[in-house]
Structure 1
Amino acid sequence: FYYSRYDEPKAGLKLTGLNEFQKLYFHRLGTPQGEDTLVYERKDHKDWGFSGHVTEDGRYLLIFVNKGTDPKNAVFYKDLQEPDAKVIELLPEFDADYGYVANDGPVFFFTTDLKAPRGKVVSIDLRKSERDQWQTVIPEAAEPLKSVSLVNERFLCSYLKDARTSVKVYDHQGAAPAKFREELQLPGIGTAGGFSGERKDKETFFMFTSYTVPGSVFRVDLDSLKTDLFREPKVDFEPGDYETKQVFFQSKDGTRVPMFITHRRGLKLDGSNPTVLYGYGGFNISLTPAFSASNLAWLERGGIYAVPNLRGGGEYGIEWHQGGIKARKQNVFDDFIAAAEYLIKEGYTKPARLGISGGSNGGLLVGACMTQRPDLFGAALPAVGVLDMLRFHKFTIGWAWTSDYGSSDLAEEFSTLYAYSPLHRLREGTRYPATMITTGDHDDRVVPAHSFKFAARLQ
C-alpha cells in the first residue's frame, strides 16, 4: 500500500518543529518499514502533501497533491504497468477540488468544483486530456455534491440539502452524460455515508445516523434500489422521547443560517433550559446530524443540544466556505453569536444557562465569541483551540491553516487576525463566563501552548 509521511522531527522539536516536505512511500506487507520505497517527493515545494490511490483495475497510481488545508488540489498519475513510467501531471494547476470516482481504462471520472461551485462529475480521457475535451457526466445541482461512487454501473451521488444527506442515482453511460434514475429513499432526515463497492457488485451499504438515531447500517439492492436494515446497535433509550428541529435564523449581515435543535419532547420554552451550543465553522467541513452517547446523557438530564451550520463550513458549497475565511472570518463568529441570541429570544434558554463548545477550529470559535460577547454565555468549553492567531503558523502543521485564516506575516492580514485572536482579546476587569479549557499535552497538531497561554492570561 501507499502512504505519506514527514521525516521524523529533530530531537526536542516533536511538538514545535514545522512539518514540511511530505513524501509518498510504498510499503509491502511483511517487510520492515525501513525497506519501503520512496515513490514521490518534491524538494522544490515544502508545502505540498501527497496521498496515493490505486485504481480498481490496478493499472494506475493516482497522486493527489494538496497545499495545506486548501480544498484546491492537483492530480498526478503513474502507469503501474510500465516499469520505468514517469509521474504525469494530469491536473497541476491547483485551481479547483478534484476527486477520483472511477475509470474505464484511460477514461477517468472526477468530481470537481471547477466552474461549478456546488460540484459536478466530469470525464477526462488521458489520451486527450485538454480541458476542451472534458465531458460533463453529471451537471451541477442546486445542492452541493459531497461524494460519488460507481457501483453496479450506477453513480451514487451524495448531496447536502440544508445540511442533510440526499442521494441521487444515475445510470453510467460511458463518457456520455449519465442518466438520472431516482433519488434513494433514506430512513429519515439525517446523515448517510458509505455507498462504496466494486464496479461488479450488486449491492452496497451505507450508515445512517441522526441526533436521535444511533448509527445503523443499511443494505441497498442496486437493481431495485430498495433499502433494508442490515445492522443496528442496541442503545438503552427511546428515540421517540426526543425530537430534532431545523430552524433558520438571520446573522448580523442578514445571511440565513440553519441550526439543528435537539431536546426532549414537550420542552417548555420558558428560558430556563440548560443548553449547549456547539459549532465549528471552518475548513469546508460540514456539521451534519450524528448520534452521540454523551449528548444523549445531556438530553436525558433535560438539556438542549443546538448545532448551527456556520459559514466557513461546506454545507452550501464554495461560497459558504469562502464567506467565513480570512478577512471574512468574523462572519463565523457573528453567525454563532446570532444562534445564541436566537435561542434566548425564542425562549429555549438564557445567558446564565447557555454554554458554548467547540474543538480545534471550534475552540477558536468559542474563544473568539466568549471574548467578544462575554455577557451572552454562562459557560465556555474551548477544546484544543487555536487561540493565538498571531503565531499558530509557526508550530508543527499550523502553516497549513493559512488558507482559511491568513497569516500574521502579511501586513494586510495581521490586523484581521489580531482583531479577533482570543489570546489578544482578553481584557482586565472583564467578567468572562465560567471556562473549562482542555488540550492534549502531546498534541502535535494544535500545540498545547495555545491553551496554556490562554488559561494563564484568563486567570
Structure 2
Amino acid sequence: MTVAYPPARTVEVFEDVAGVRVPDPYRWLEKETQEVWQWQRRQAELATAAVYAGQDPEAVRDLILACDAGSRPDLPKYASGRWFRVVTPPGGSAPVVVVSDEPLGDGRKVVALAGSGEGEHPPVVSWLAPAPDGRVLALGLCTDGSEHNTIRLVDVASGRQFDGAPEQVLHSAWAGGVSWLPDSTGFYFFALTGTPEEFRQAVFLHRLGGGTEPEPIPVGEGSREYTLVQMSTGSRWAVAAHRVGSPVPVAVRDLSDPDTAWQPFVTGCTGTIAGHVVGDRYIAVTDVDAPRGRVVAIPFDAADPGDPAGWTELVPEGDTVLRSLTPVGEHLYLSEFDRTFARVRILDRSGAVTGEVPLPGRGALAAPFFPLTALATGTPAADFVFAFSTLTSSWGVYRHRPGESEPETLTPPAIVLDAVLEEGEAIAPDGVAVPYHVVRGAGGDPAPVLISAYGAANVPLLPQYQPDLAAFVAAGGVLVQAYLRGGGEFGRDWYLAAHRERKHVRDADLVAVAEHLLATGLTSPDRLALTGGSDGGLMCGIAVTRRPELWRAVLPRAPLLDLIGGTRDPYLDFVIRKAWGDPDDPAEVRRLLGLSPYQLVEPGVFPAVYLQAGATDPRCRPWHARKFAARLQAAQRGEAPILLHVFEDAGHGAATARDVAVAQDAEWLAFLIGTLGLRGVSRPGPT
C-alpha cells in the first residue's frame, strides 16, 4: 500500500540532557501552531480514509455502540441515607445528577448540567461527593476532555448552584475530588496552584460560606506527588495519604482541637500503606514486610508510627494479593486478587475475618487505577455496592449486606460474548512465567490475535469487560490479555521487577508472550496485533521499533513515546523521575535513550501502525504521537501504512466525551478489521 503522507520537514535541533547530545529532528511538531494543526488534521483525514476503505463505517460504529452498552457504570455515592449518582441520557444529552433511597432507584433529579460545557460536547462529571449530611453536593466538571476540572456546589433540596465555590482547577480526579469534614461545614481538596502546564499542586481547605486557604500538610519539600485527606464520621482524626501509586499516611491531625497542627505520622516508608481511619487507628493494606500484602492497624498515638514493630497485624500475608479496603457500616470489605481474579473477604472493625462475598464469576471488581484514588470512599454505607464483570460478560451492579449469604443483583450484565476464557503462560528469558488470558470465540486457527497489555506503575490489568476489546472479539478476533511485570496484579515484587532500571523486563515479557503464541500455533505473524495505552503505548512503540517482524499491526493509544522530550514537560518529568530514571545522570539518560521509541526509529520495514492521541491530553501530550508518526513515516521502507489520528476534544481517556470515545474506538476497530482480515462486524448477544 503506497501512502502519500503530509510532508513533515526536519530541523537541526539537539537537546543536551545531562551532557548527552540528542538529535530531535521533529521538535517543531511539539508546538501548537497553525502549521502543526494543519499537518495534524491532514494526518487525521488520511487515517480515517485509509482505515475505513472498503468498510461500512456505520456498521463498525454500531458494533462499538452495542458493546458500549455494557460499559463500566459510575457507582452511586452514599450520604445521610440516600444515594447520589450521575445519569447520562441517550443521544449525547448533558448529564443529570439523581438522588434516591436505593443505590439505583429512580429517585429525583437534583441538577441537570446542561449549559455548563464550554465546547460542543456536554461536560463530563469527573467525580461526585455529597456532604455527610446530604444537603450539599460537590462535583467536578471537565469541559474539554483534559481531565482538568472545576468544583461545583449544588443545594440538594433546590438544585441551585451555590456561588463561592473554589476557583482552583483540579488536575484530575486522582485525589478523589473533595474530602468533606465530618460536620459538613467544608472540605479539603487537592488542586493546582498555577497553570496545568506548571504542574504544581497543593491541599486546600474550603469552608462553606467562607473562603479557601492552602492547608499546610507536611508532605516533604518539593514533592509533586498527589495527596488525599481522609476522615471518618465518629472519629476525630484526619489523615493525609501521600503518593498516588504507593500511598502512605504521612501526616495526621486531631480535628477536635482547632489549634492542633498537622503532625508527621508514617514517614520514610517506600512501600504502600493504604487504609482508612477507624476509631483511633489507621487500618490499612500494606506491602511492608509482605510483598503480597497484609492488613495492619497503626494507633494514632503510637510512639513511633513508622516502626512496623508497633503495628498490629490483623490479616497475615497469604497466597492472594491484597489490594484495598472499603468501609461498609461496621465492617471492612477486603479486595484481593487470586491470580488476577477478584476475591472479597469481610472483616469486622477489630480486623477479624467474618466471611466472604460470593462473586458472580471469575472476573474483576470495578476499582480506580491507583490505590490513592481508592481511598476516597466518602461516607460509608451500610451495604457493599459494587460493579463486577468478566472478560466475556459486561458490568453488572450488585449489593451485599453484611451477614447475608448472597449478593443482590441490582443491574445484570447487558452483554455476554459468544466466547470462552482460557488461561496460559509464557516463559520470559529469565525463566519467570508470564500469565495471560485468551478470549476466543468460534472460528478456526490460526486466528487474528490482539495482545492487550500494560505492565507499569503498579497498576493492575484485570480480567474485566472492556467495550473496545469485546467488539474486537465480536468481530471475529481472539483477545490475549497479558499480565506483564511492572503491573500490580501479583504484588510488590512483580511491580518492582520491571520498575526504573529494570523497565526493559516488561518488554522482554511481552516478546515472550508473542513468541509463545506463534510457537503454539494460536496465530501467525501475519495475524498478530498489539495494543496498549499511555505507558502501554510506549510499550507498543518499543515493540514496533525493536521487533517489527513480530507484528502485523501495532496500535498505540494516548502514548508516551519520547522520554527525552518528556523531561521538558513538568508532569512527565515527575513521572519519568519516579518510574524510569534520573535525567540528571548521564548514564541514566543513555539508558532512557535505549527505551524511548522516538529515538529508536531507524530506517526499516515496519508493520502497519495506527497511532491515536487526544488533542487535550495533559499526561501524554499529542506531540508524542505526532513526532513518532512523522519519524516512522520517513523511516518506513515497507508498504504497510503508518497512520496518525489526533482527536479533537479528547484527552487521556478519563474525561473524554462519549461520542468522541465511540469515534475513537470505531476507527481503532476498523483498522484491526481491515489489517488483520477479520470476518467483519456482528453484534454480541444480550444476557
- Tell me the TM-score normalized by structure 1: 0.88
Give the one of 263, 267, 272 matched to 1:92. 267
In the TM superposition, what is the alpha-carbon distance from 1:44 to its structure 2 partner?
3.3
Show the 5 A alignment for 1:324-363.
Answer: 324-363=498-537
CA offset digits 1:261-314 (Å, max 9, x no partner): 1121x4322x2x222111111000111112123323221221111110000001
In the TM superposition, what is the alpha-carbon distance from 1:185 to its structure 2 partner?
1.6
What secondary structure does 1:91 align onto? coil
The one-letter code of the counterpart of 1:313 is G
Hey, what's the Cα distance between the residues in 1 that align with 2:397 and 2:553?
A: 37
Hey, what's the Cα distance between the residues in 1 that align with 2:194 and 2:276?
A: 33
Q: Structure 2 vs 1, CA of residues 36 and 403 (structure 1 numbering), >3 Å: closer, same or farther? A: same
Give the one of 335, 338, 341 matched to 1:161. 338
Show the 5 A alignment for 1:231-246.
Answer: 231-235=411-415, 238-239=416-417, 241-246=418-423
Give the one of 172, 184, 191 matched to 2:357. 184
CA offset digits 1:165-222 (Å, max 9, x no partner): 112233443xxxx333343321111002479796682x32221101111110112131
Partner residue of 1:427?
602
Give the one of 177, 189, 193 matched to 1:7. 193
In the TM superposition, what is the alpha-carbon distance from 1:29 to its structure 2 partner?
5.1
Structure 2 residue 134 is the aligned partner of structure 1 residue 134:
no
The one-letter code of the counterpart of 1:159 is E
Structure 2 residue 229 is the aligned partner of structure 1 residue 52:
yes
Hey, what's the Cα distance between the residues in 2 that align with 1:181 and 1:207?
A: 22
Partner residue of 2:472?
298
Structure 2 residue 497 is the aligned partner of structure 1 residue 311:
no
The one-letter code of the counterpart of 1:64 is A
The one-letter code of the counterpart of 2:189 is Y
Hey, what's the Cα distance between the residues in 1 that align with 2:419 and 2:557?
A: 27
Q: Structure 2 vs 1, CA of residues 400 and 49 (structure 1 numbering), >3 Å: closer, same or farther? A: same
Give the one of 9, 27, 43 matched to 2:206. 27
Hey, what's the Cα distance between the residues in 1 that align with 2:583 and 2:564?
A: 5
In the TM superposition, what is the alpha-carbon distance from 1:224 to its structure 2 partner?
2.7
Q: Structure 2 vs 1, CA of residues 70 and 456 (structure 1 numbering), >3 Å: closer, same or farther? A: same
In the TM superposition, what is the alpha-carbon distance from 1:30 to its structure 2 partner?
6.6
In the TM superposition, what is the alpha-carbon distance from 1:112 to its structure 2 partner?
1.6
Partner residue of 2:546?
372
What is the percent sequence identity of the aligned residues?
26
Partner residue of 1:39?
215
Partner residue of 1:287?
461
Are the aligned partners of 1:109 and 1:121 in contact in 2 as well (CA < 8 Å)?
yes
What secondary structure does 1:27 align onto? strand
Hey, what's the Cα distance between the residues in 2 that align with 1:133 and 1:325?
A: 30
The one-letter code of the counterpart of 2:597 is P
- Structure 2 stretches lacking a partner, 5+ long: 1-186, 368-373, 634-687
- Structure 1 stretches lacking a partner, 5+ long: none
Are the aligned partners of 1:101 and 1:109 in contact in 2 as well (CA < 8 Å)?
yes
Structure 2 residue 262 is the aligned partner of structure 1 residue 82:
no
Partner residue of 1:170?
347
Hey, what's the Cα distance between the residues in 2 that align with 1:46 and 1:185?
A: 42
The one-letter code of the counterpart of 2:229 is G
Structure 2 residue 613 is the aligned partner of structure 1 residue 439:
yes
Hey, what's the Cα distance between the residues in 2 that align with 1:275 and 1:135?
A: 48
Structure 2 residue 591 is the aligned partner of structure 1 residue 416:
yes
Hey, what's the Cα distance between the residues in 1 that align with 2:381 and 2:601?
A: 59
Structure 2 residue 409 is the aligned partner of structure 1 residue 229:
yes
Q: Structure 2 vs 1, CA of residues 398 and 199 (structure 1 numbering), >3 Å: closer, same or farther? A: closer
What secondary structure does 1:438 align onto? strand
What secondary structure does 1:319 align onto? helix
What secondary structure does 1:380 align onto? strand
The structure 1 segments of at least 4 consecutive aligned residues displaced by more than 6 Å after TM superposition are 194-200
Are the aligned partners of 1:326 and 1:413 in contact in 2 as well (CA < 8 Å)?
no
Are the aligned partners of 1:74 and 1:94 in contact in 2 as well (CA < 8 Å)?
no
Are the aligned partners of 2:192 and 2:199 in contact in 1 as well (CA < 8 Å)?
yes
CA offset digits 1:404-425 (Å, max 9, x no partner): 2113321332232111211111
What secondary structure does 1:437 align onto? strand
Q: Structure 2 vs 1, CA of residues 314 and 48 (structure 1 numbering), >3 Å: closer, same or farther? A: closer
In the TM superposition, what is the alpha-carbon distance from 1:458 to its structure 2 partner?
0.6
What secondary structure does 2:570 align onto? coil
Give the one of 277, 282, 291 matched to 1:117. 291
Does 1 or 2 have the higher relative contact order (CA < 8 Å, sep 6+)?
2
What secondary structure does 2:537 align onto? helix
Are the aligned partners of 1:73 and 1:98 in contact in 2 as well (CA < 8 Å)?
yes
Structure 2 residue 422 is the aligned partner of structure 1 residue 248:
no
CA offset digits 1:229-253 (Å, max 9, x no partner): 1212534xx54x2111121111122
Hey, what's the Cα distance between the residues in 2 that align with 1:182 and 1:262?
A: 31
Hey, what's the Cα distance between the residues in 2 that align with 1:300 and 1:97?
A: 39
The one-letter code of the counterpart of 1:212 is T
In the TM superposition, what is the alpha-carbon distance from 1:118 to its structure 2 partner?
1.4
Q: Structure 2 vs 1, CA of residues 263 and 360 (structure 1 numbering), >3 Å: closer, same or farther? A: same
Give the one of 549, 559, 568 matched to 1:394. 568
Hey, what's the Cα distance between the residues in 2 that align with 1:121 and 1:412?
A: 39
Are the aligned partners of 1:251 and 1:338 in contact in 2 as well (CA < 8 Å)?
yes
**Aligned pairs, how many?**
434
Q: Structure 2 vs 1, CA of residues 189 and 333 (structure 1 numbering), >3 Å: closer, same or farther? A: same
Q: Structure 2 vs 1, CA of residues 190 and 129 (structure 1 numbering), >3 Å: closer, same or farther? A: farther
Hey, what's the Cα distance between the residues in 2 that align with 1:46 and 1:171?
A: 36
Partner residue of 1:217?
397
Structure 2 residue 242 is the aligned partner of structure 1 residue 65:
yes
What secondary structure does 1:99 align onto? strand
Hey, what's the Cα distance between the residues in 2 that align with 1:328 and 1:82?
A: 47
Q: Structure 2 vs 1, CA of residues 80 and 441 (structure 1 numbering), >3 Å: closer, same or farther? A: same
The one-letter code of the counterpart of 1:181 is T
Structure 2 residue 387 is the aligned partner of structure 1 residue 207:
yes
Q: Structure 2 vs 1, CA of residues 233 and 220 (structure 1 numbering), >3 Å: closer, same or farther? A: same
The one-letter code of the counterpart of 1:220 is H
What secondary structure does 1:454 align onto? helix
The one-letter code of the counterpart of 1:221 is R
The one-letter code of the counterpart of 1:368 is I
Q: Which moved more, 1:52-61 or 1:41-50?
A: 41-50
